[in-house]
């Protein structure tokens, strides 16, 4: 089978599947919203939603188009190392829950910027909000590329036309208030996405002779001998230990993502949030394992079945496998599910941009601005965020996952240290926070290949593009600056008047569940010193040659 | 052990265990292992299983322990407030 243009021969099937999926989500959103008595009720829908539904909603919020299209493309490109990279992304919600989610919930903060404002003051929160807007735009960019590819495949139109048509339809849909954030919708979406991914995968495995088609996520061992024969290095780790250490930067990055911590807040209680974390781990483990299987099957098909997939089509691997091995209507459903996965994440990203700009920046700077004007600004920000991500997607990075993982790294550099240290160390202050996110963020952007292609750390395009090497250097620097600058400025009399030390100490005790302030708690200088020494070692290691 | 120390120790140890379970590939990159398990190379399937079921089991443990520590902090906090009031009186 030669190289070809992969598209549905009957575009109406694809359009019908997309319209039907949109209608279903809209209907569920409408019914869920009708039950809500007030805006607050709608927002904290978790009050009436059990941990299972919330766990599914967490998984749906976290999963994006990357799960459908991006991961498999990079398994095709990098093989097993990329699977190792993706595995640890499951840690996001469990680590958020145990490290700071429950504390933020006690505080009543529903977003990381809210916490940063209470903990470090207005200036630090505006800096954090600006970085979060950039994080959300880069995250949205990955979704936009995937949506353009999906429309390209459905309608058989060029990428650019797919991008503009698909992008504007979806941005318009989100701006006028589609996908109103009901947890029920996210949960149902998760079930549909999982089914439309795993069942067609089983059919593909059956078609190429796999005997474990009835449980695709784990039962494909019978294909391993043929894979080893056709591609002996598929299972090789390829890279040094340093590369695998740099993956932890993504884990830290996921702790700073704007839209994840919110799901802990929407749970009805701390107990319920913890139970939701358990369901999240089970469901996301299932879906992630299925994507590794899809990637494996994709490589298997290209190596043993004569399917040729050009570099430009790598992101379409999942759709291509369906087009080759499944009936067209199945491919149409898979594309519709992929678009809806992108839609839910894109909606989260764009709504976050709207909230960050209207609430965290404009309202903070101009508190007297009329409510109506603020709402309008929010809508304008949502739309503009969408348009910017469409414009960036005109000349996209080679793989859609690259921009998403780069966004993880930026969140890890600019937001995560502020939250992690801020929750667990009373001495962290606003000067440390601002130095940390400004210097760390600037460093991360400078060494990324998107701004100055000549200043990169490894020269390995995917490693630099995904932000792995940049984050391994910039995250430690952010932690070090936050701790050292806070420690020094706390001891300089000239800064005392501008610090809110007493209020900070009370806040930290309260979010951990204490009513009284005890100076011995959450105040360890030894712990801070160990953190600085550890991260200094990591930063030096990151700055040394990578030899890739 | 008081509730505060328990909370800190729980968070540090649990975070380390989660990171270890999610990054088994890192350990294999330092100590490579030959051989097959369930028909897959060990260095492929163990990180996947640990990244799913290992994390799942840890969330069960973390959920139970987190709830228990919350209760202990609540009790200790009440006691602390009571002691302060008595001292103040």
At A489, which helix (H) or strand (E)?
Answer: helix A468-490
Angle at A17 between CA A15 and CA A21, to 5 degrees: 115
Nearest Cα to A511, choosing from A521, A501, A500? Answer: A521
From chain A, the residues in CB contact with B22 under 8 A are 87-88, 90-91, 251
Tell me, what's the ipTM?
0.93
Of the spans A16-30, A126-140, A324-338, A528-542, which averages the highest pLDDT? A528-542
Query: So what's the pLDDT on residue A419?
Result: 93
Residue A6 DSSP label: -
Position A368 scores a pLDDT of: 83
pLDDT in tens, A136-148: 888 888 888 888 8
Residue with tokens 């494996």: A296
Q: Look at A94 and B55 and tell me if their CB atoms are within 8 Å.
A: yes
Instruction: Determine contact, residues A410/A138, Cβ cutoff 8 Å.
Output: yes
**Residue A45: pLDDT band with limits 50, 70, 90:** very low
Rounded Cα gap, residues A147 and A144, in angstroms: 5
Output the pLDDT for position A44.
45
**Gap between the Cα atoms of A538 and A245, Å rounded:** 9
Contacts of A105 in chain B (CB under 8 A): none
B63 touches chain A (CB under 8 A): yes
Instruction: List CB contacts (< 8 A) between B32 and chain A.
Output: 237
Q: What is d(CA A436, CA A117) in angstroms, rounded to the nearest whole number?
A: 15
Q: Looking at the complex, report in whole angstroms how far the Cα of residue B89 sits from the nearest Cα belonging to chain A.
A: 16
CA A440/CA A419 separation, integer angstroms: 15
Torsion over CA of A22, A28, A34 and A40, rounded to 10 degrees? -90
CB A492 within 8 A of CB A501: no
Residue B32 φ then ψ, to 5°: -65, 145
CA distance A478 to A490: 18
Instruction: Please report the pLDDT score of residue A452 as a whole number.
Output: 82
Q: Place A311 in a pLDDT band, splitting at 50, 70 and 90.
A: confident
Mark out the alpha helices in A356-429 (DSSP H runs).
Answer: 364-365, 371-393, 400-414, 416-424
For chain A, the residue count is 548
DSSP state of A399: S
How wide is the angle at C-alpha A348 spanned by C-alphas A343 and A349, nearest 5°?
Answer: 95
Q: Under the phi-then-psi rule, with left for phi > 0, alpha for psi from -120 to 50, and beta for the rest, what region is A522?
A: left
Nearest CA in chain B to A224: B40
If you average pLDDT over every residue of chain A, what do you get?
85
pLDDT bracket for residue B51 (50, 70, 90): very high
User: Does A285 contact B at CB distance below 8 Å?
Assistant: yes
Measured between beta carbons, which residues in chain B are less than 8 angstroms from residue A222? Answer: 39
> Of chain B residues 14-53, which have a CB less than 8 A from chain A?
14-15, 18-19, 22-26, 28-30, 32, 38-41, 43-44, 47-48, 51-53
Report the range out of A23-37, A473-487, A494-508 with the highest average pLDDT: A473-487
The answer, yes or no, to whether residue A150 has pLDDT greater than 70, is yes
Q: Any bridge partners for residue A364, and if so which?
A: none
Cβ neighbours of A241 in B, within 8 Å: 26, 29-30
Question: Which of A45, A21, A50 shows the shortest CA–CA distance to A34?
Answer: A45
Interval A497-516 mean pLDDT: 87
Q: How far is A256 from A416, CA to CA, in rounded Å?
A: 4
All residues of chain B having their beta carbon less than 8 Å from the beta carbon of residue A518 are: 4, 80
A364's tokens = 């903070």
Higher pLDDT, A496 or A217: A217
Question: Has residue A227 got a pLDDT over 90?
Answer: yes
Q: Give the DSSP letter of residue A5.
A: -
Position A196 scores a pLDDT of 87
Name residue B49's beta-bridge partners.
none
Question: Once rounded to an integer, what is the mean pLDDT over residues A479-493?
Answer: 95
Note the pLDDT tens digit of each residue in A350-403. Answer: 878 887 887 788 878 888 888 778 777 878 888 888 889 899 888 877 677 888
Least confident of A283-287, A452-456, B70-74: A452-456
Residues 6+ apart with CB under 8 A from A509: A515, A516, A517, A518, A521, A522
Closest CA to B25 of B40, B55, B45: B45
Average pLDDT over residues A246-257: 91
* Cα–Cα separations (whole angstroms), residue A161 to A59, A152, A175, A454: 31, 8, 21, 32
Greatest mean pLDDT range, A97-101, A496-500, B62-66:
B62-66
Give pLDDT tens digits for A63-114. Answer: 877 777 888 888 988 899 999 999 999 999 999 999 988 888 888 776 788 8
Q: In chain B, what are the domain boundaries?
A: 3-88
Q: What is the pLDDT of residue A40?
A: 44
- Looking at residue A29, what is its pLDDT? 67
> Which tokens belong to A545?
């040659």
Contact A278 B63 (CB under 8 A): yes
The predicted structure's pLDDT at residue A2: 45
Q: Please say if the pLDDT value at position A39 is more than 50.
A: no
Per-residue pLDDT at A524 exceeds 80? yes
Dig out the tokens for A72 from the structure: 């498999």
pLDDT for residue A33: 59
Q: Residue holding tokens 């243009």?
A: A5
Q: Is the pLDDT of residue A177 over 80?
A: no
CB A439 within 8 A of CB A477: yes
| Best A248, A281, A511, A531 residue to mutate vs chain B (most B CBs within 10 Å) | A281
Task: Tell me how far apart the alpha carbons of residues A355 and A353 are, in angstroms, rounded to a whole number.
Answer: 6
**Mean of pLDDT values over A426-432:** 94
pLDDT of A41 reads: 45
Query: For residue B38, which residues of chain A lie inside 8 Å, CB to CB?
Result: 218, 221
Q: Which of A83, A241, A516 sits opposite B30 (nearest CB)?
A: A241
pLDDT of res. A167: 87
Q: Look-up: residue for tokens 């699977």?
A: A83
Task: For chain B, give the mean pLDDT.
Answer: 91
**Predicted pLDDT of residue A292:** 94
pLDDT band at A42 (very low <50, low <70, confident <90, very high): very low
Pick from A98-107, A226-235, A277-286, A528-537: least confident = A98-107
The closest of A429, A448, A428, A378 to A133, measured between CA atoms, is A378
Q: Which of A84, A102, A251 sits opposite B25 (nearest CB)?
A: A84
Domains of chain A (ranges, CATH numbers): 11-30+40-400 (1.20.1730.10)
**With an 8 Å Cβ cutoff, are A281 and B73 in contact?**
no
Question: Token match 């400078």: residue?
Answer: A446
* Chain A residues 421-440 within an 8 A CB cutoff of chain B: 424
| CB atoms A270 and B66 under 8 Å | yes
Contact (CB<8Å) B52/A289: yes
Closest chain B C-alpha to A97 CA, distance in angstroms: 9
Nearest Cα residue to A59 out of A174, A197, A189, A182: A189
- Tell me if residue B36 falls in helix, strand or coil: strand
Comparing A48-52, A138-142, A494-498, B50-54, the range with the smallest average pLDDT is: A48-52
Token reading at A74: 């990079």
Least confident of A118-122, A297-301, A339-343, A536-540: A339-343
The rounded distance, in Å, linking the Cα atoms of A307 and A173 is 37
Q: What is the mean pLDDT of residues A398-422?
A: 90
Distance CA A283, CA A359 (A): 33
Mean pLDDT for the stretch of residues A331-344: 84
Which among A244, A245, A270 has the least Cβ separation from residue B70?
A: A270
Output the pLDDT for position A183: 57
> What is the Cα–Cα distance from A507 to A464, expressed in whole angstroms?
39
Say what the pLDDT of residue A438 is: 97
Position A17 scores a pLDDT of 86
Burial of A443 (0-12, 13-18, 19+ CB in 10 A): middle
Tell which of A244, A423, A426, A509 to mutate to test the B interface (max B CBs under 10 Å): A244
Measured between CA atoms, the residue of chain B closest to residue A269 is B67
CB contact under 8 A, B52 and A235: no
Q: Is the pLDDT at A534 greater than 90, yes or no?
A: yes
Question: Taking CB atoms and an 8 Å limit, are B29 and A516 in contact across chains?
Answer: no
At residue A489, the pLDDT reads: 94
Of A60-64, A156-160, A280-284, the poorest mean pLDDT is in A60-64
Res A266: pLDDT? 67
Q: Which residue has the higher pLDDT, A217 or A186?
A: A217
- The answer on pLDDT for A348 being more than 90 is no
More confident residue, A292 or B89: A292
Q: Inter-chain contact A94–B62, Cβ cutoff 8 Å?
A: yes
């Amino acid at each position: 089978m030669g190289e070809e243009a992969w598209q549905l021969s009957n575009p109406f099937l694809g359009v019908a599947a997309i319209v039907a999926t949109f209608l279903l989500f809209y209907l569920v959103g409408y019914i869920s919203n009708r039950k809500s008595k007030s805006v607050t009720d709608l927002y904290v829908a978790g009050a009436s939603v059990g941990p299972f539904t919330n766990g599914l909603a967490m998984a749906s919020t976290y999963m994006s188009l990357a799960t459908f299209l991006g991961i498999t493309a990079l398994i095709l490109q990098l093989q097993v190392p990329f699977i190792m990279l993706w595995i640890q992304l499951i840690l996001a919600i469990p680590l958020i829950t145990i490290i700071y989610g429950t504390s933020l919930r006690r505080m009543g903060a529903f977003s990381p910027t809210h916490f940063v404002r209470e903990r470090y003051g207005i200036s630090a929160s505006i800096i954090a909000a600006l970085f979060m807007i950039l994080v959300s735009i880069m995250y949205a960019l990955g979704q936009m590329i995937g949506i353009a590819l999906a429309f390209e495949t459905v309608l058989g139109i060029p990428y650019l036309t797919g991008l503009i048509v698909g992008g504007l339809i979806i941005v318009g849909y989100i701006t006028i208030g589609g996908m109103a954030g009901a947890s029920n919708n996210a949960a149902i979406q998760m079930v549909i996405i999982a089914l439309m991914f795993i069942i067609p995968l089983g059919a593909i495995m059956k078609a190429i002779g796999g005997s474990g088609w009835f449980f695709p996520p784990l039962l494909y061992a019978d294909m391993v001998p043929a894979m080893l024969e056709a591609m002996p290095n598929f299972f090789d780790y390829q890279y040094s230990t340093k590369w695998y250490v740099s993956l932890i930067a993504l884990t830290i990055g996921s702790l700073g993502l704007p839209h994840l911590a919110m799901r802990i807040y929407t749970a009805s209680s701390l107990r319920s949030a913890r139970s939701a974390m358990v369901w999240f781990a089970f469901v996301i483990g299932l879906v992630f394992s299925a994507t590794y299987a899809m990637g494996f099957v994709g490589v298997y098909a290209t190596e043993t079945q004569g399917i040729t997939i050009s570099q430009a089509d790598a992101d379409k691997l999942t759709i291509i496998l369906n087009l080759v091995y499944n009936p067209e209507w199945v491919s149409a459903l898979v594309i519709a599910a992929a678009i809806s996965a992108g839609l839910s994440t894109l909606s989260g990203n764009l709504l976050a941009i709207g909230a960050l700009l209207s609430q965290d920046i404009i309202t903070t700077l101009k508190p007297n601005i009329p409510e109506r004007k603020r709402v309008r600004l929010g809508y304008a920000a949502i739309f503009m965020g969408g348009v910017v991500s469409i414009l960036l997607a005109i000349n996209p990075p080679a793989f859609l996952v690259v921009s998403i993982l780069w966004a993880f790294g930026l969140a890890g550099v600019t937001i995560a240290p502020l939250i992690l240290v801020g929750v667990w160390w009373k001495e962290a202050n606003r000067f440390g926070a601002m130095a940390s996110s400004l210097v760390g963020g600037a460093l991360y952007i400078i060494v990324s290949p998107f701004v100055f292609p000549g200043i990169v750390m490894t020269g390995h395009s995917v490693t630099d593009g995904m932000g792995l090497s940049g984050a391994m250097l910039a995250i430690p620097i952010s932690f070090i600056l936050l701790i050292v600058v806070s420690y020094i400025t706390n001891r300089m009399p000239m800064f005392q008047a501008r610090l809110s030390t007493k209020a900070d100490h009370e806040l930290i005790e309260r979010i951990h569940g204490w009513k009284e302030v005890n100076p011995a708690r959450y105040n360890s200088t030894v712990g801070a010193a160990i953190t600085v020494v550890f991260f200094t070692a990591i930063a030096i290691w990151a700055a040394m040659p990578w030899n890739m | 052990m008081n509730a505060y120390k328990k909370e800190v120790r729980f968070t540090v140890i649990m975070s380390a265990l989660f990171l270890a379970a999610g990054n088994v590939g890192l350990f294999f990159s330092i100590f490579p292992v030959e051989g097959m398990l369930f028909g897959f190379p060990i260095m492929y399937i163990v990180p996947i299983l640990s990244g799913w079921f290992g994390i799942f089991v840890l969330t069960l443990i973390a959920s139970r322990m987190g709830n228990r520590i919350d209760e202990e902090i609540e009790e200790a906090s009440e006691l602390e407030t009571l002691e302060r009031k008595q001292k103040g009186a």
